[in-house]
Chains A and B, each alone.
Chain A
Amino acid sequence: MLCLGIESTAHTFSCAIIEKTGTQGIILSDIRKIYTPPEGEGIHPREASRHHAENSPQVLAECLQKSGVKINDIDLVSYAAGPGLGPCLRIGAVVARSLASYYDMSIYPVNHALGHIELGKMLTGANDPLVLLVSGGHTMILALLSKKWRVFGETLDITLGQLLDQIGRHAGFASPCGSKIEEIASKSSTYVPLPYVVKGNDVSFSGLLSATKKIIPKGLESACYSLQETSFSMIGEATERALSFTGKKELLVVGGVAANKRLSDILTGVCKRHNCTFFVAPKEYAGDCGSQISWLGLLESSKKNGAKLEDTFVRQSWRIDTVEVHY
């Protein structure tokens, strides 16, 4: 089975083709174009969607070319139907619908967050993990329980990705700026006390954001270091709570922030304490990509038929814990 997956929830427009044999998938190609706002600014939904619209033909063409597959050989097309920015989502949906109707393929609208998890599971071999999803759009701790991914903990306000991005932008970088923060943080080991807010299994970052902004003038390096230490420790603790509550023996980290080395270190420490196996999505596939959408499309197609064209909506607010998992 061959599936073309289209991702366009936020910064990234990406097309990927995966071939599925049995339970394994081989990524034949995964091409991305990332919208970058001017320095110090965040994503502008209209500008991002324009970027996606302008780049979609090229990304699609490159994706097909690199995979060595002819478009007529593709069995199905899947697209990220949410959650995400409306204008951006619509571009991916339009591309998917056009292909589906012109080439008569079945079409699958899939949940972007679930895509992160499933691709992470496939690539790492994790079997029954507690999942930590950390990105610009999500900060959630999840486990699969009677056919749905249940939320065991999440952020009560902004996400970890937003926290890092907003500090980065405040310091004058262009988002996404997680890797920039990581780089600067690695130059310091001076810890400045910052608010540490864990409420049960949940975390809250808004106070930490304001407090970090205040200490930036005293030194960007120590501010970034302290920000990472505090926020990642909060995530570490919330994860520990969820691990000890659920008794899961695997932890899988997915999403853009999964690429952060210090976060992985902390979570490795968490896993060691709880005697569980640590999996992290490979850096290349941790963030938003077409592969997550393609793979989820393949999984869903194994259990249900494609959607009717008239049902291929996008949903800006589509919580992962409302999606029923059948495969």
Chain B
Amino acid sequence: MKIGAEADIYVTSWNGRKSILKIRKRKDYRNELLDNRIRRLRTTREAKMISEVKSFGISTPLVYFVDQKKCEIFLQYVPGKLVRDLPNGTIIKACKKIGRIVGTLHKNGIMHGDLTTSNFILTREGLIIIDFGLAQKTEKVEDHAIDLRLFKEVLNSAHIDIVGKSWESFLNGYEKIVGTPRKERVISQVSVIEKRGRYANVV
């Protein structure tokens, strides 16, 4: 169905159910030892995290089956549209929900690691978050700020017309879950990270 950044995605079936098969294929251009390490680690991590976050009330696809050797995961097929491809007005609204989801993850000590608008699917039952290959267990403000910064970067590059409104809407949802003091701390860390960026501050 799609060649993703680190995995190939196929639509298939698992015991009669429509399913997504995510394969982290061997990459010829990468050193084999390094390649194996990355693929195995991410496959197991994704499978664990995607199930674990359900206990905090976050909607993710079900994991049907994991093959560690082949680095394959069979996931529930979720019909819907990627937030990235929605009309602007809907994206702004969705950002608030994204903020709540990210807040809930952070509150429970998990960073997603790849917060882009193409990792959220809008379904009839609400927003679903996918792709936990880069997720990590961490309570650190810095790590949570990295999540937020990435999301901001994505808005700033791919959704430039609505970056202000969607970012505000995201923060609104985020604050509702983690509380104002924590939000302020993470936000100020985001600006610290931004200032670390190359040529970001005027000398």
Give A contacts to B, CB under 8 Å: 82-83, 86, 137-140, 143, 145-146, 148, 150-157, 159, 191, 193, 196, 198-202, 229-230, 233, 236-237, 240-241, 243-246, 265-266, 268-270, 273-275, 315-319
B114 touches A200 (CB 8 A): yes
Chain B hits for A315, CB < 8 A: 202
A–B Cβ pairs within 8 angstroms, 20 of them? A143-B157, A156-B197, A191-B32, A193-B34, A196-B37, A199-B150, A200-B113, A200-B115, A201-B116, A201-B153, A202-B153, A230-B34, A240-B5, A244-B5, A245-B116, A245-B118, A269-B29, A273-B3, A315-B202, A319-B199
State which of B33, B154, B193 has its C-beta within 8 Å of the C-beta of A191. B33
Which of B31, B115, B196 has the most A CB atoms < 10 Å from its CB? Answer: B31
A154 touches B6 (CB 8 A): no
Asked if B27 lies at the interface with its beta carbon under 8 angstroms from chain A, I say yes
B18 to chain A, nearest CB (A): 23
Chain A hits for B34, CB < 8 A: 191, 193, 196, 229-230, 233
Q: Which of B160-203 contact A (CB under 8 A)?
A: 160-161, 193, 196-203
Q: How far is the CA of A250 from the CA of B20 in the complex (A)?
A: 28
Number of A-B residue pairs with CB-CB distance less than 8 Å in the complex they form: 122
Closest to B202 in A: A317
B111 to chain A, nearest CB (A): 9
Closest 5 CB pairs of A and B: A269-B29, A200-B150, A150-B157, A241-B5, A240-B5
Chain A hits for B203, CB < 8 A: 86, 316-317
A126 to chain B, nearest CB (A): 19
Chain B hits for A86, CB < 8 A: 203
Closest to A274 in B: B3
Asked if B68 lies at the interface with its beta carbon under 8 angstroms from chain A, I say no
Given contacts A193-B37, A317-B203, contact A269 B153 (CB under 8 A): no
Asked if B86 lies at the interface with its beta carbon under 8 angstroms from chain A, I say no
A266 touches B198 (CB 8 A): no
Closest to B156 in A: A150
B153 to chain A, nearest CB (A): 7
A116 to chain B, nearest CB (A): 14
A317 touches B29 (CB 8 A): no
Asked if B146 lies at the interface with its beta carbon under 8 angstroms from chain A, I say yes
Chain A hits for B3, CB < 8 A: 244, 273-275
* Beyond A154-B197, A201-B154, 7 additional pairs, beta carbon < 8 A: A193-B33, A199-B150, A200-B146, A240-B5, A240-B6, A245-B116, A266-B29
Q: How far is the CA of A230 from the CA of B34 in the complex (A)?
A: 8
Q: How far is the CA of A140 from the CA of B153 in the complex (A)?
A: 13
Q: Which of B98-144 contact A (CB under 8 A)?
A: 113-116, 118, 134
A159 touches B115 (CB 8 A): no
Closest to B28 in A: A269
State which of A151, A229, A233, A237 has its C-beta within 8 Å of the C-beta of B153. A151
Asked if B69 lies at the interface with its beta carbon under 8 angstroms from chain A, I say no
B117 to chain A, nearest CB (A): 9
